[in-house]
Structures are given as C-alpha cells and as structure tokens.
C-alpha cells in the first residue's frame, strides 16, 4: 500500500523521515543514477551499432555526428514506447527482443563451435563457483599495473553500471510483479535470468574463444564495440547476423530506456502510478541529450567518458542499496503474514509435543 518510491522501502528503517527530506534525497539519488546509467547504455548502444554499420559496409567511418544521430533515433523510439505505457510499447518490444535473442543465440550455437560451447557450460559453472569469492575481493594489489588498469576501466565500470540500473529495474519489476510471492519473484528475476545469461555467455564467449584458438585474433582486429561483429564475420550469413545484432542491440537499449523514463517520471511525481506524459518525455529527452553530449564532447575517448560518468553517478546510490538491504530485512521479518506463520508453526510444534 505504500507509494511507488525507493524512499517508501525505507519506512521500516527511517519511519516518517522516509516521507520527508531524507526520503526526497534518496529518490533524487535514484533519479540521478537512473538517468546517467541509461545515458551510458544509449551511448554504448550507439557505439556498437556504429561498429556494425562499418563492418557491413553501410558507412565507411561512423563519426561523432553519426553516433549522436543514432542516439537521437534511439531516444525517439524509447520515449514513444514509454509514452504508450507498459501494456503496449514496452510489452511488445520486450517480447520482440526475447524472440530475436533466442534466434541469434541458436544461430551462433549451431553454426559456431557447438561441441566447445557445450563443454564450456559445466566448466564455466564450476570455475565460477570456485573463483567467485577470490575474484569478488580482487584489487590492484593482487597483480601489476595491467590488473589495476583492467579493474578500473572495466570491472568497476560494470559494477557501477549495474548499480545505476538498480532503481528503475527494481521499481519496474516490483510494479509488474504485484501479487507474486517472494519465492516466485526471486525465481523469476534471479534464478531464470541468471541461467539464461550463463547459456548466453557460453554461446557467444565460446564462439569467440573457438575463433581465437583457430588463429583469429578478434581482440587485435576489432574495437571493443566491434568484436561481436568480428566474430560473426567468420560465420555463414554474416550480413543477416550483423543486421540482426544491430536490431537486437537497438531494441535492447530502447526496451530498457523506456522503462527508465517511466520510473523517473514516477519518482519525480511522488510515486504516481501513471506519470504525466510530458514528464516522461522530459526525462527521456534529457537522458538522450546527456548521452549525445558525452559522445559529442568525448570524440575518440567517448567510451572512457561513458565509463567515468557511470561510476560517478552510481557511487552515491550504492549507500542507498546498503541501507535498502537492512530495511528490507526488517520489513520482511515484521510482516504480519510471516509473523503469523511463525506463531502458527510454534503452536503446531507444541501441540505435536503434547
């Protein structure tokens, strides 16, 4: 029965203060993280689509102006989707995105190193379980300058990128999961996506590893954004696969950004279930403009600019996430259904003993 705000989840921890100035600060941090995290996603999407345009020969050199134009097109698409609502644009784009992703994964799995990919699945699971704790605590002190550079430019960036997606993904999932149990929610948003991601990385990572073993140096031949296209270039039907990837990347970022715009509208209108159309358009346009500005001013270092911006914007919200963990624990432990169930169980145990 609480409002659709990040601050509303802090009521068990802060009480009425979550509805005052402290709560507003929490919601503002959520908006900032969401906007800059989404802007980074749009920028990365434009860079990747630009690499695809170069590889298939549609453009000789995708410059800054073309990247900004791509961001403009993506912004127009996701703002239109957000304005149409959850049940229409967002729903349809998500379903299309899922179908195209399955088609692309099956394409790479069948035409790529199928046996290697199948062998990687159990290997990756065991390796992940064995190294999770060690790699989670790895710092620059564990190796030399190369490790420090890798951690700062990629590991910390991806950590910050996921943190920046936390506010709007969490709120959007909560909105579409009303009526679900916690068990159903955890299975639906953690267990199943993690399993799908594991297969996805095994398929595409396995295809890349297979080509590297066969003497194709993808890392040297392609930019970071273009290595997926470089891998597809060594499979049949390259043109079809490349176009499919560009469409998939575009829809992926559009289907994320439209949800972000909707949530930012909700946060800025004190939890309104259906935020004003103009407010949604405002936040969507501002997000697209931020991405375009970073690409325009960054030039050849646009990727570095996107990474730095994401880290700066996400760092404050990490403190909010930590507080959210404690608040959620307190909230669930005091939930009437949980408390009532515990008392009933204790009563049943006493009855059984008697």
Task: Identify which of 274, 332, 348, 337 has the alpha carbon closest to the alpha carbon of residue 13.
Answer: 332
Give the sign of the dihedral formed by CA 118, CA 205, CA 315, CA 72. negative
Provide the whole-model pTM.
Answer: 0.79
CA end-to-end distance (rounded Å), the chain: 41
Task: Identify which of 300, 63, 313 has the alpha carbon closest to the alpha carbon of residue 166.
Answer: 313
Task: Identify which of 107, 102, 78 has the alpha carbon closest to the alpha carbon of residue 231.
Answer: 107
Q: In this predicted structure, what is the pLDDT of residue 353?
A: 47
Query: 328 in a domain, yes or no?
Result: yes
Query: 154 in a domain, yes or no?
Result: no
What's 177's DSSP letter? T
Query: 1 in a domain, yes or no?
Result: no
User: How big is the chain by its Cα radius of gyration, in Å?
Assistant: 23
Contact 68, 290 (CB under 8 A): no
Query: 146 in a domain, yes or no?
Result: no
Q: How far is CA 281 from CA 78, 153, 277, in A?
A: 10, 32, 6
Query: 193 in a domain, yes or no?
Result: yes
The separation between CA 180 and the C-alpha centre of its own chain, rounded to angstroms, equals 22
Residues with Cβ within 8 Å of 38's Cβ and at least 6 positions away in sequence, in order, are: 164, 165, 168, 256, 257, 260, 261, 287, 291
Count of domains forming the chain: 1
Q: In this predicted structure, what is the pLDDT of residue 154?
A: 79
Query: 53 in a domain, yes or no?
Result: yes
pLDDT along the chain (354 residues), means of 10: 87 87 90 87 83 75 81 84 69 83 92 92 88 83 79 82 86 84 89 89 92 84 76 86 86 81 87 83 88 76 74 87 92 77 55 48
Query: 119 in a domain, yes or no?
Result: yes
Supply angle C-alpha 332, 190, 272, rounded to 5.
60
Query: 48 in a domain, yes or no?
Result: yes
Contact 244, 101 (CB under 8 A): no
d(CA 352, CA 156): 54
Residues with Cβ within 8 Å of 109's Cβ and at least 6 positions away in sequence, in order, are: 117, 203
Task: Identify which of 8, 3, 22, 12 has the alpha carbon closest to the alpha carbon of residue 327.
Answer: 12
Q: What domain range includes position 49? A: 7-137+165-353
Q: In this predicted structure, what is the pLDDT of residue 232?
A: 87
Assign 221 to helix, strand or coil: helix
d(CA 317, CA 297): 26
Give 259-270 pLDDT, tens digit per residue.
Answer: 888 888 888 888
Q: In this predicted structure, what is the pLDDT of residue 350?
A: 45
> CB-based burial of residue 122 (10 Å sphere; 0-12 exposed, 13-18 middle, 19+ buried)?
exposed
d(CA 130, CA 264): 39
Neighbours of 250 (CB within 10 A): 22
Task: Identify which of 263, 257, 291, 304 has the alpha carbon closest to the alpha carbon of residue 40.
Answer: 291
Q: In this predicted structure, what is the pLDDT of residue 240?
A: 85
């Amino acid at each position: 029965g609480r409002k659709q705000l990040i601050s509303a989840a802090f009521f068990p921890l802060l009480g009425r203060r979550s509805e005052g100035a402290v709560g507003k600060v929490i919601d503002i941090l959520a908006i900032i993280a969401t906007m800059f995290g989404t802007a980074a996603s749009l920028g990365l999407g434009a860079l990747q689509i630009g690499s695809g345009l170069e590889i298939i020969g549609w453009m000789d050199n995708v410059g800054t102006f073309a990247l900004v134009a791509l961001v403009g097109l993506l912004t127009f698409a996701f703002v239109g989707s957000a304005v149409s609502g959850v049940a229409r644009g967002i729903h349809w784009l998500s379903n299309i995105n899922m179908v195209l992703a399955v088609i692309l994964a099956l394409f790479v799995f069948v035409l790529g190193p199928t046996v290697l990919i199948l062998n990687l699945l159990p290997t990756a699971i065991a390796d992940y379980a064995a190294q999770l704790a060690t790699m989670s605590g790895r710092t620059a002190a564990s190796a030399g300058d190369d490790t420090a550079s890798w951690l700062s430019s990629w590991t910390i960036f991806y950590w910050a990128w996921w943190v920046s997606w936390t506010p709007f993904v969490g709120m959007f999932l909560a909105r579409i999961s009303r009526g679900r149990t916690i068990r159903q929610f955890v299975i639906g948003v953690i267990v199943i996506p993690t399993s799908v991601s594991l297969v996805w990385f095994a398929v595409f990572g396995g295809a890349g590893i297979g080509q590297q073993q066969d003497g194709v140096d993808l890392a040297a031949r392609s930019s970071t954004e273009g290595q997926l296209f470089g891998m597809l270039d060594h499979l049949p039907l390259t043109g079809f696969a490349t176009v499919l990837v560009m469409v998939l990347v575009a829809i992926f970022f559009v289907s994320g950004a439209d949800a972000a715009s909707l949530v930012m509208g909700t946060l800025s209108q004190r939890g309104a279930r259906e935020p004003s159309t103009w407010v949604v358009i405002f936040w969507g346009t501002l997000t697209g403009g931020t991405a375009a500005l970073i690409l325009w001013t960054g030039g050849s270092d646009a990727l570095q600019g996107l990474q730095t911006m994401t880290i700066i914007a996400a760092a404050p919200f990490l403190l909010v996430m930590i507080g959210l963990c404690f608040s959620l624990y307190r909230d669930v432990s005091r939930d009437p259904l949980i408390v009532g169930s515990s008392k009933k169980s204790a009563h049943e145990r006493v009855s059984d003993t008697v």
